Amino acid sequence: MLDYIIVGSGLSGISIAEHLLSRGKKILVFDDNSQASSTVAGGIYNPVILKRFTLAWNANEQLDTALSFYENLEKKLNVKLIKSLPIYRRFHSIEEQNNWFSAMDKPFLSEFLDEKLVSTINPHIPSSYSFGHVKNTGVIDTELLLEKYREYLLHINSFQEESFNYDDFELNSDHCNYKKWKAKKVIFCDGFGLKKNPYFNYLPLSGNKGEYLIIKAKDLKLEVAVKSSVFIIPLGEDLYKVGATYNNWDKTKVPTQDGRDYLLEKLNSFLKCDFEIVDQVAGIRLATKDRKPLVGKHPKHKNMYCCNGFGSRGVLIGPTVASELIKSIEDAIPLSEEIDVKRYEKLYQADLS
C-alpha cells in the first residue's frame, strides 16, 4: 500500500513529493509530459511585481522557504540549481522612476528596491532613463531540477512515466486503486491537465500561454537580467532567454509565429547588437480568478487533493504552499482560507446540479 499517488512532477509535484518523502511517506509519481510550464519557465524568483512596483502575494515569506527548499535539493541531487542574479528594471519614463521611489516607502519593498538608480548597465542596452536594481533575486534552473528529480524518483522506484488515466482509477472509503497500485491518498499536481481532470475541473483555472525566444548574442556579455518591455535573462555561453508573451486564447504548448514576431519587435526596441534565434519554447501559466493558488481537499472525496494555480510565480509559491497542504493532511493544521479550494465549493455544487 502506497501512502500517496501524485499526478504531475512539475514544480508543484516536486514540492509535494519532497515534503512527503521528508516524512518517510511511500509515494508514486506519474507524469506523461503533457504539460511544460515548469520546464519552459524563466525560473526567476523575484518578490517584486515590476509593472506596479508592489510586493507579490506573500512573496517575502515565501522567499526564505523557497531558497532553503532548493538548497536542500541541490545537496540531495548533487546539482547546481540556484543562481543569484540581479534584475535591472529599465525605466520608460520619469514617472516610472518616481514610482520606484514612492514604492520604497511601502512595507518590505525597501529590502528589494535599491535606492541608487544606475544610468548604464550594458553598451548594447541604451536607455534615455535610468535602471532600477531589484535586490535578492535569482533564477532556479527548473529544467535541470525536473530532469534530475525524475531521475531520483526513478532511482527510488517512485516514478511512472505515463498518463494517469481516470478510467482506471477507483476510490474506496479509505484508499484508492489505480491499475496494480493501492494508495491511501492521491494528490493532483497536474497543472493545466486539471482541465481534463473530472474531479477538480470545476475549479476556475484558466491557462495563459507564454512563449520565450532563446537567442545567441556573442557581443552582449550581459551578466544580469534586464526587464524592459520583455525580460532578457542570461543563460551562459552567450545564450539568453527573451520573453515572455501573454496569450489567453491559445491553450497549446506549441510555439507560434505571432509569439516570435511579438518578442522580436519588443527585443529590437531596446537591444542594439546582433543576435540569432536558436530556439523558441512555450508553456501554459496556471492563472486563477483571484490570483491565489488552488490547494486542498476535494469537496466530496476525503482522500483526494489538489495543488495547482501558481500563476507566474511557481518557483516561489510551490515550496510554501505544498508544505501547507501536507501539514493540513498529516498534522490537521487548517489551510489558510485564501488558498483553500473550499472557497470554490459553490462551483462544485453548481456543477453537480
Ligand X SMILES: Cc1cc2nc3c(=O)[nH]c(=O)nc-3n(C[C@H](O)[C@H](O)[C@H](O)COP(=O)(O)OP(=O)(O)OC[C@H]3O[C@@H](n4cnc5c(N)ncnc54)[C@H](O)[C@@H]3O)c2cc1C
> Are 5 and 176 in contact, with CB atoms under 8 Å apart?
yes
313 belongs to the binding site for ligand X (CB under 6 A): yes
| Cell numbers for 215 | 537567442
- Using CB under 6 A as the binding rule, the residues of this chain from 133 to 172 that contact ligand X are 163-164
Question: Which of residues 148, 285, 292, 297 is near ligand X by CB under 6 A?
Answer: 285
Contact map string, positions 179 to 198, toward ligand X, x by CB under 6 A: ----------xxxxx-----
Question: Which of residues 4, 6, 19, 38 is near ligand X by CB under 6 A?
Answer: 38
Of 29-37, 49-57, 121-129, 167-175: span binding ligand X (CB under 6 A): 29-37
256 belongs to the binding site for ligand X (CB under 6 A): no
CB of 35 to ligand X, least distance (A): 3
35 belongs to the binding site for ligand X (CB under 6 A): yes
Question: Which of residues 62, 312, 320, 328 is near ligand X by CB under 6 A?
Answer: 312
**Closer residue to ligand X, CB minimum distance, 41 or 329:** 41
**Closer residue to ligand X, CB minimum distance, 135 or 346:** 135
> Are 242 and 212 in contact, with CB atoms under 8 Å apart?
yes
16 belongs to the binding site for ligand X (CB under 6 A): no
Of 47-55, 93-101, 257-265, 283-291: span binding ligand X (CB under 6 A): 283-291
323 belongs to the binding site for ligand X (CB under 6 A): no
10 belongs to the binding site for ligand X (CB under 6 A): yes
293 belongs to the binding site for ligand X (CB under 6 A): no
SS3 per-residue string spanning the chain: CEEEEEECCCHHHHHHHHHHHCCCCCEEEECCCCCCHHHHCCCEECCEECCCCEECCCHHHHHHHHHHHHHHHHHHHCCCCEEECCEEEECCCHHHHHHHHHHCCCCCHHHCECCCCECCCCCCCCCCCCEEEECCCEEECHHHHHHHHHHHHHHCCCEECCCCCHHHEEECCCCEEECCEEEEEEEECCHHHHHHCCCCCCCCEEEEEEEEEEEECCCCCCCCEEECCCEEEEEECCEEEEECCCECCCCCCCCCHHHHHHHHHHHHCCCCCCCEEEEEEEEEEEEECCCCCEEEECCCCCCEEEEECCECCHHHHHHHHHHHHHHHHHCCCCCCCCCEHHHHHHHHHHHHC
30 belongs to the binding site for ligand X (CB under 6 A): yes
CB of 37 to ligand X, least distance (A): 3
CB of 338 to ligand X, least distance (A): 17
283 belongs to the binding site for ligand X (CB under 6 A): yes
253 belongs to the binding site for ligand X (CB under 6 A): no
199 belongs to the binding site for ligand X (CB under 6 A): no
> Are 341 and 296 in contact, with CB atoms under 8 Å apart?
yes
- Using CB under 6 A as the binding rule, the residues of this chain from 44 to 103 that contact ligand X are 44
Of 72-80, 118-126, 311-319, 326-334: span binding ligand X (CB under 6 A): 311-319
Residue 114 sits at φ, ψ, to 5 deg, of -70, 130
**Closer residue to ligand X, CB minimum distance, 130 or 241:** 241
Q: Give contact residues for ligand X (rule: CB under 6 A).
A: 7-13, 30-35, 37-38, 40-44, 163-164, 189-193, 210, 212, 244, 283-286, 308, 310-316
